[in-house]
Each structure stands twice: as C-alpha cells, then as structure tokens.
Structure 1
C-alpha cells in the first residue's frame, strides 16, 4: 500500500520577539512625555523614554555599536537580528558638544548586555537648562515594521524589560 503525499507550498512566517531591558536606571515613561516633537510624535520610531536616576547608559543586549554621535550623547546599537536601537541621552544635548559625556565604546565595537556604553553628568545637563529625559527608540528592522510593546515604571538598567519587539519575517 502506498500513500500519496500532498505537497503544499506554504509561505513560511517566522516571528521573533526581542526583549529589551532598560539601558538607563530611572523612570520609564511614554514617548509623548519627551519635550521634543520629533521624539514625542514617534517620527524617529517607536519606543519609550527614561527619566534617568543615574548617569550611566548600559547595553540592553549583546550587539554592535552601529554608530556613535561625535558629541557622545547618542548612539545606535544593533541587535544580531538587525534591529537597531537609538539610545539618546537628554534632549538638545548635542549643544553641549560632548561636555559631560564620556563614551566607553566606538563605532564597530561589539558589546555585551550590561556593559557601560556612556557615562553622563546629569547635573551638567540640568545646569545647561536641558531635559535629561532619554528616548530609547526602535529605528529599523528589515522591511516589515515590527510591533513594539512599551512597558513603563521604575526601571533598573539591565534588569527590567522596557520594550518587547515582535518582528515577522
């Protein structure tokens, strides 16, 4: 007796969920609380913002530094999946021209979750009259837009999940 195999070409859909821990300890809040229309309006992408309790930006996952801004107030971290995360310390902090920011990484560096990427002086940012609230933005992931779930509240860098990104391929 022989059986007939039915061959059906099915489209393969894989779903990947990436959990992103807080890169800064403090209070995670919705992006619309950022005093900057570009971030608050979601024009840079989906995400959250953190009102920092300390001046240390840590890697939320193992990845690679895709780009670091010359003044050390922002960087793009790339996940092995291709997801890119913009980590931006404060608002309008580019005007400080790097004063109060110490980067421990360079573009192209591989980093481990929990590794300190940038140290920053909260008092110096505030003394300059700038907001310290720091956006954490999912900027790109292949051609399909990922679903981004944001989690809010008190967070500790490297411990609490602030974003859950689901991508479908």
Structure 2
C-alpha cells in the first residue's frame, strides 16, 4: 500500500472505491514518463501499463469532458470527484489515430462500460508510451489516495480508494 498526501483527518471521510479502468499493471505516478504527471502537477492518483486497448468506466458517473483526439477524458462520480484518465504519454500528437470513443461528453456511464478503445501497438510503434495516468483533478481535493501495485483487470479489480 502507498499513501498519498493527507491534508485532513480521513477517519470521518467517505471512501470511494475506484475500479481499474484498464487491464494491465498498476504503477505509482512517479514512474510515469512525463514530469507533469510524475510530479503530481496534474493531480493525485496512480497509473496503469495497459495489457489491452480497452478503457472502461471505473465507477458509475458522467463523462464531463472528452478530448477531441479521443486519448483522454474526465469522468465525474456522483460525489463530485473527477478523474482524468489519459491514455498514453504525449499521445495527443497522434491526433486521434488509433483511438475510438464509444461515448461523448455528457453521457451517463456505468461501471465497466467501454469508453474508449485504442491500439497499444500503434501507440508504441509511433514512439509513445502507453502508460495511462488516472488522477483526481478536483482543485479542492484534500483527501488521500491509496492503492497497491499489481496486475489489475478492467472494471473488476480495485485500483485505488480515495478519501473524499
């Protein structure tokens, strides 16, 4: 287990369980090959080295933003917590090539529902990492993110718990 920042007592806080949005191996953000994510400038969370190119909803929620190149989105839980899921590093340069969105901004989604499919081999063959950060983007987030580093299955394995 690892513990992220903790700005307040979590004993009276709600814990949100976040299922893994990808199958693969979970990693600490510090191992993401991008300084903004690795130094947590984008938010607290974890990353996944995907083993298959299917991104699913990590909880029931609403897609609040889908990047035009379909490599990233923000999904919001009913508690207001928002997660940025960014498939690969610098993959915006692919301009959507190798990515297909199965949802749009404003769509309500259910845990395990397919959101984006992508071609891992194309990402890697194009010279990019497929490592996918999953980070809390709420500015007012003052909780803690806990999780362990292991093999995870999309929509079935818990990736992390977040103290709200």
- The answer to whether the aligner puts 1:153 opposite 2:150 as a matched pair is yes
Structure 1 vs Structure 2 CA RMSD: 1.2
Of structures 1 and 2, the one scoring higher in RCO (CA 8 A, sep 6+) is 2
Q: Secondary structure at the match of 1:80?
A: coil
Contact conserved, 1:21 with 1:161, CA < 8 A, in 2?
yes
2:85 aligns with one of 84, 87, 90: 87
Map Cα deviations across residues 113-150 of structure 1 (whole Å, 9 max, x no partner): 00000000001101100000000101117x35121112
Shift of residue 160 of structure 1?
1.1
User: What is the TM-score with the length of structure 2 in the denominator?
Assistant: 0.91
Structure 1 unaligned residues grouped into runs of 5+: 1-12
Contact conserved, 1:85 with 1:138, CA < 8 A, in 2?
yes
Contact conserved, 1:151 with 1:161, CA < 8 A, in 2?
no
Q: Which residue of 2 aligns with 1:58?
A: 56
- The answer to whether the aligner puts 1:162 opposite 2:159 as a matched pair is yes
Shift of residue 16 of structure 1?
1.0
Structure 2 unaligned residues grouped into runs of 5+: 1-10
Which 4+ residue blocks in structure 1 deviate beyond 2 angstroms? Answer: none
Partners of 1:58 and 1:86 in 2: how far apart? 13
User: What is the TM-score with the length of structure 1 in the denominator?
Assistant: 0.88
Give the paired residue count.
154
Q: Secondary structure at the match of 2:36?
A: helix
Describe how 1:38-77 pairs up with structure 2 within 5 A: 38-77=36-75
Map Cα deviations across residues 22-55 of structure 1 (whole Å, 9 max, x no partner): 0000000101111100000011111111000000
Q: Say if 1:144 and 1:155 are closer, same or farther in 2 by CA, change over 3 A.
A: closer
Q: Which residue of 1 aligns with 2:5?
A: none
Q: Which residue of 1 aligns with 2:26?
A: 28
Q: Secondary structure at the match of 1:65?
A: strand
Map Cα deviations across residues 62-83 of structure 1 (whole Å, 9 max, x no partner): 0000100000000000000000
Select the structure of larger CA radius of gyration: 1
